[in-house]
Amino acid sequence: MDTKDSNKRSFSLFGNYNLHEPAMNVPVHSTPGTNALSPYLNFDPTVLNPSKSQFILPEGQKERRGRLELMFFTIGGSVIAGSAVGSASGLYRGLRETRELTGSVRTSSIINYVSRQGATTASAMGTIALIYSLFGTGISWARDVDDELNTVASGGLTGLLYRSTAGWKGAVRGSLFGLGLSSIYVKKTMSVPEKMRAVLLKGFGDRDNLYIGETDVPKIKDDEILVKVHAFGVNRADTMQRKGQYPPPPGVTDIIGLEASGEIVLVGDKAKEQWNNGDKVMVLVAGGGYAEYVLAHMGCVMKIPEGISMIDAAGIPETFLTAYQGLRLIGNIKKGDIALIHAGASGVGTAAIQLAKFFGAKVATTVGSNEKIAYCKKIGADTAINYKHGPWVKTLQEFTREWNKPGFDIVYESIGKDYVEANQEVLGVDSRWIVYSCQSGTEADKLSLSTLMRKRITLSGTVLRARSADYKTNLVKCFQNEAINGFLNGKLKVITDKTWPMEQIADAHKYMEDNLTMGKLVVTIIQDEQ
């Protein structure tokens, strides 16, 4: 199913609102209908800026909701709810007492009871909501963190202040009540189950071997975080693992999945310096992404850039970090280079084209359809060639001559065997040839060592999945230092081709294996994130 949303509206106790937030391209709420109040009475936390503290001022964009706007919206809702509860209580009390005193129902007395009790309860609930929200705002601002500790502290201080007029005993009772109530809320909202749903395998083979089953939630280590997954990306490596052609590294879960987006629900002791419960993040993992919960090393985690939805964020880590590693860290791509990127319409290819342009290179790419040619040019490729139509090697050589180059400075490819000879022909002197997959086979019988020596070609192979946590941590840091701002200024874009619910994972694999991809394929677990 596509990521487009409808213009339907949802109705709740506190009013009606659009299901989709147009300014941020994300859903407005996490569950339809009446929503449970979240920490600090934040009605719709999903629309807040996930790259900053949750307590933010409205930023001025039309229809964008800020932290304080939501706070006062919910205070108003609490007043309305208090008025309704108080009025109902007043009606019951008025009916009972007027009958006991006069033997009949007196309308004027009932109206008096309803209005008085309604106003009193509305005032009380509104005051509590206001105090609670102000404490939450202040504590979050002071700590620059939005987590369960703020919730408990706000609850305790609210109870203390609200009951302070009843003396120190009343203040103590109020604070204990607030602490208890907020602690129950935190335990309910932040608790992690022992079991989770995940995409499992009956055995290696075709797509029919994929099924949704139940397994244990992974146990966290000191340097890890546990993420409640909203969505995960689908990669070519996933289909290879399903077939038994790409096993996980030793010690890594057998559950498929190399990237995901979601919300942190547990933080290891060492990771607490960097991450907090409730942070909205995207993660690079060696396995386990196809599940409701996934573990990630603390250095392989990135906050989701402002304006990027959970769905789009799920397609960033594996594809963009793979492309960045190959082009920048290994290929040392720079301004003035000419790069050839094979399979330009794939997830990694889409990222590689954009990153090559981001670093100032000229880009050519090969694809398998005319539709993909138009797509690749749209995202930045200077030329795109359908490898099924004619002698593409000569066409590429003409392209490099147009830029006064004897050949490409960089070839970045995932094809392998079928392109070994052609790559040597189009590469220039002192060039870099980076291989990150071998879809057509691993044999290189047409590799000419004399050509490599004569052109001084540096041939590098790389697999990101098997790299150490330290290497990936450094990779993430370099990517964030050099490229992450590209998502904020529009130079880099996440292009999600299609999405499916987790129950349709086999359809996502079929789409990948049919080579229909133009961008990123994403599977959603929390359906409201579509």
- Considering the domain architecture, whether residues 348 and 306 belong to the same structural domain is answered as no
**What residues form DSSP beta bridges with 434?**
412, 460
Asked if residue 443 belongs to a domain, the reply is yes
Asked if residue 67 belongs to a domain, the reply is yes
Asked if residue 48 belongs to a domain, the reply is yes
What's the CA gap between 515 and 518, in Å, rounded?
9
- Considering the domain architecture, whether residues 245 and 335 belong to the same structural domain is answered as no
CATH of the domain at 427: 3.40.50.720
Instruction: Look up residue 243 and give its DSSP letter.
Output: T
Average pLDDT over residues 436-450: 90
For the chain, the C-alpha Rg in angstroms (whole number) is 29
Q: Where does a domain end: 146, 166, 181?
A: 146
pLDDT surpassing 70 at residue 368: yes
What's the CA gap between 456 and 208, in Å, rounded?
47
What's the CA gap between 208 and 373, in Å, rounded?
32
What's the CA gap between 25 and 38, in Å, rounded?
21
Q: Are 358 and 492 in contact (CB under 8 A)?
A: yes
Token pair belonging to 187: 């335990």
Q: Are 255 and 279 in contact (CB under 8 A)?
A: no
- Considering the domain architecture, whether residues 279 and 344 belong to the same structural domain is answered as no
pLDDT surpassing 90 at residue 73: no
- Considering the domain architecture, whether residues 259 and 388 belong to the same structural domain is answered as no
Instruction: Look up residue 328 and give its DSSP letter.
Output: I
488-507 per-position pLDDT tens digit: 999 999 999 999 999 999 99
Question: Phi/psi class of residue 28: alpha, beta or left (left: φ > 0; alpha: ψ in -120 to 50)?
Answer: alpha
Side chain identity, residue 283: V
Neighbours of 205 (CB within 10 A): 12
Asked if residue 337 belongs to a domain, the reply is yes
Residue entry with tokens 């540096």: 458
297-331 per-position pLDDT tens digit: 999 999 999 899 999 999 999 999 999 999 999 99
Asked if residue 512 belongs to a domain, the reply is no
CATH of the domain at 207: 3.90.180.10
> Full-prediction pTM beyond 0.75?
no
Percent of the chain with pLDDT over 70: 82
Residue closest to 32 by CA, chosen among 10, 55, 9, 16: 10
∠ CA(330), CA(331), CA(333), 5° rounding?
130
Average pLDDT over residues 431-455: 92
pLDDT surpassing 70 at residue 357: yes
pLDDT for the residue numbered 414:
93
144-194 per-position pLDDT tens digit: 766 677 777 877 887 787 777 778 787 788 788 777 777 776 666 566 888
Model confidence at 356, pLDDT cuts 50, 70, 90, reads very high
Asked if residue 507 belongs to a domain, the reply is no
The region of weakest confidence among 62-66, 213-217, 340-344 is 62-66
Q: Rounded to a whole number, what is the distance in angstroms from the first to the last CA of the chain?
A: 9
Question: Which three-class secondary structure state does DSSP give residue 317?
Answer: helix
Average pLDDT over residues 113-121: 80
Where would I find the beta strands (DSSP E) of 326-452? 338-342, 362-367, 383-386, 408-413, 427-435
- Considering the domain architecture, whether residues 307 and 390 belong to the same structural domain is answered as no
Instruction: Quote the domain boundaries for residue 232.
Output: 195-316+518-529
Side chain identity, residue 190: M
What's the CA gap between 373 and 367, in Å, rounded?
7
Residue closest to 427 by CA, chosen among 402, 471, 450, 393: 393
Q: Are 302 and 476 in contact (CB under 8 A)?
A: yes
DSSP string, 17-46: EESEETTTTEES-SSSSSPPPBGGGBS-GG
- Considering the domain architecture, whether residues 120 and 98 belong to the same structural domain is answered as yes
What's the CA gap between 79 and 100, in Å, rounded?
31
86-106 per-position pLDDT tens digit: 788 878 777 777 777 766 666
**What residues form DSSP beta bridges with 522?**
233, 499
Neighbours of 335 (CB within 10 A): 8
pLDDT surpassing 80 at residue 408: yes
- Considering the domain architecture, whether residues 290 and 342 belong to the same structural domain is answered as no
Model confidence at 116, pLDDT cuts 50, 70, 90, reads confident
pLDDT for the residue numbered 45:
41
- Considering the domain architecture, whether residues 271 and 312 belong to the same structural domain is answered as yes
Q: Where does a domain end: 414, 435, 461?
A: 461
Question: How many distinct structural domains can be found in the chain?
Answer: 3
Q: Where does a domain end: 124, 146, 168?
A: 146
79: Cα separation from own chain's centroid: 35
Asked if residue 494 belongs to a domain, the reply is no
Helix or strand (DSSP H, E) at 379: none
- Considering the domain architecture, whether residues 207 and 293 belong to the same structural domain is answered as yes
Average pLDDT over residues 113-135: 80
Residue entry with tokens 């047409």: 446
Token pair belonging to 268: 């290891």
- Considering the domain architecture, whether residues 309 and 336 belong to the same structural domain is answered as no
CA dist 332 → 5, 73, 424, 484 (Å):
40, 51, 19, 18
Q: Are 78 and 41 in contact (CB under 8 A)?
A: yes
Helices (H), 243-309: none
pLDDT for the residue numbered 346:
95
Q: Are 264 and 350 in contact (CB under 8 A)?
A: no
- Considering the domain architecture, whether residues 277 and 324 belong to the same structural domain is answered as no
Asked if residue 490 belongs to a domain, the reply is no
pLDDT surpassing 70 at residue 461: yes
- Considering the domain architecture, whether residues 306 and 376 belong to the same structural domain is answered as no
Q: What is the mean pLDDT of the chain?
A: 83
Token pair belonging to 19: 């299901």
